[in-house]
Amino acid sequence: MPLNNLGEFGLIQKIKEQFSLNLPQSVEGIGDDCAIIPESDQSSLLVTTDMLIEDVHFLRSDILPQDLGYKSLAVNVSDIAAMGGVPQFAFLSLALPLNLDGAWLESFFSGFKDLASNTKIYLLGGDTNQSKNGIAINVTLLGRVENKFLKRRSEAKLGDIICVTDFLGDSAGGLKIILDKLPRSADALHLIKNHYRPQLNLQQGQWLSQHASVHAMMDVSDGIDSDLKRIMESSKCGVEIRIEDIPVTSVLKKFAKGHDFDFLQLALAGGEDYCLLLTVDPSAYEDLNNKFQLQFSRSLFPIGTIVEQELTYLQNGMPFKIKNNGFDHFKKADGHE
Ligand code: ADP
Ligand code: MG
């Protein structure tokens, strides 16, 4: 079957079927934001890996090397945050064209270091190769979590309140500005910044994971339309989303109006927001949100409910259809994010 029929998630499912049999006891592999390798009764090692490829994930002519360095680590930190962990050790593998400038690399490392030192991550190794076709960057990140705080995608329960920890769509708005070469007003630069230097929710992830009322958690990397489906598959449930409650910044709304594009589409299916998507016991929601507000000076955004089956969007109670689905590497015609 050709890849574009199988899709990214179909392919991952095939890999999972072949390689997830007979894992050592309590080891959890493919299927969540990180693999889980228990170290003791108290704690587990979390492992995640993500790749950024020139002309698929970034345009070298547009992104600053320091932003690329930051982002290549950030997307991995977000996966550790999603499971409530503390990131610790990174491995960096690079495929680089021969003619790449030394100053470019210096800046790349300075961006990587910015985030590594802020989050106390140590770079312990990697691999370096020549590339004949553009830059490819792979980061593997290890973290640690107390077993009692670990959060998975698979723990959503019927009636749970679904929420996100931040506004959605700014990053996708930034990407649209880059790809469509829209004018770089102050608002546009703000959206692009969210695309290149996404705000991580590491403290939020660790804090939320310490609350038993938080059932399932993951990070938003492919757009909630796609990421909600991951929760549905893992937790064997359905999802009902209220479109009018999707948090969108006034900057994105204003920019979208001025350039005649649909901000909701970006907020639902754009991706690369790197905030957290979680499901919460409804009886504990108000208390959790009040405490979250005290801790982080902002509120959670409740956007829907866990139901028995299917993904349904409602706008003021009426069925709502979205135009495009979340990101799939093998389903978009131009292969870009
Ligand atoms: P995320 O967006 O959180 O990084 P992905 O959607 O990339 O997660 O991947 C989903 C799951 O599939 C993860 O558990 C990941 O480790 C696994 N996975 C993705 N690609 C591969 C692959 N080529 N081989 C094995 N596992 C994979
Ligand atoms: Mg993830």
Residue-level pLDDT, tens digit, the chain, 337 residues: 788 888 888 999 999 999 988 899 999 999 999 999 999 999 999 999 999 999 999 999 999 999 999 999 999 999 999 999 999 999 999 999 999 999 999 999 999 999 999 999 999 999 999 999 999 999 999 999 999 999 999 999 999 999 999 999 999 999 999 999 999 999 999 999 999 999 999 999 999 999 999 999 999 999 999 999 999 999 999 999 999 999 999 999 999 999 999 999 999 999 999 999 999 999 999 999 999 999 999 999 999 999 999 999 999 999 999 887 777 777 754 433 3
How high is the pLDDT of residue 328? 75
Q: Judge contact between 76 and 201, C-beta under 8 A.
A: no
Looking from the CA of residue 221, the nearest atom of ligand 1 is 2
CA 231 to ligand 1 center in whole angstroms: 14
Query: Does the beta carbon of 221 sit less than 6 angstroms from any atom of ligand 1?
Result: yes
How high is the pLDDT of residue 333? 43
Query: Does the beta carbon of 3 sit less than 6 angstroms from any atom of ligand 1?
Result: no
How high is the pLDDT of residue 337? 38
Choice from 30, 52, 272 to test ligand 1 binding pocket (greatest atom count within 8 A of CB) = 30
Query: Does the beta carbon of 51 sit less than 6 angstroms from any atom of ligand 1?
Result: no
Query: Does the beta carbon of 32 sit less than 6 angstroms from any atom of ligand 1?
Result: yes
Look at residue 201 and give its three-state secondary structure: coil
Q: Where do the domains of the chain lie, and which CATH numbers do they carry?
A: 31-149 (3.30.1330.10), 153-319 (3.90.650.10)
pTM of the model: 0.95
Query: Does the beta carbon of 33 sit less than 6 angstroms from any atom of ligand 1?
Result: yes
Residue with CA at minimum distance from ligand 1 atom 20:
12
Query: Does the beta carbon of 15 sit less than 6 angstroms from any atom of ligand 1?
Result: yes
CA 283 to ligand 1 center in whole angstroms: 33
Long-range CB pairs of 281-288 (<8 Å, 24+ gap) are 281/157, 281/160, 281/161, 281/212, 281/213, 281/215, 282/159, 282/160, 282/161, 283/213, 284/211, 284/213, 285/161, 285/213, 287/213, 288/211, 288/213, 288/214
Beta strand residue intervals within the chain, DSSP E:
35-38, 43-53, 86-96, 122-130, 136-146, 161-164, 214-219, 238-242, 276-280, 301-307, 311-315, 318-319
Query: Does the beta carbon of 59 sit less than 6 angstroms from any atom of ligand 1?
Result: no
Looking from the CA of residue 19, the nearest atom of ligand 1 is 25
Could you list which residues have their CB under 5 Å from ion ligand 2?
33, 79, 219, 221
The sign of the CA dihedral 281, 282, 284, 286 is positive
CA 78 to ligand 2 center in whole angstroms: 7
Query: Does the beta carbon of 337 sit less than 6 angstroms from any atom of ligand 1?
Result: no
How high is the pLDDT of residue 329? 74
Residue with CA at minimum distance from ligand 1 atom 11:
31
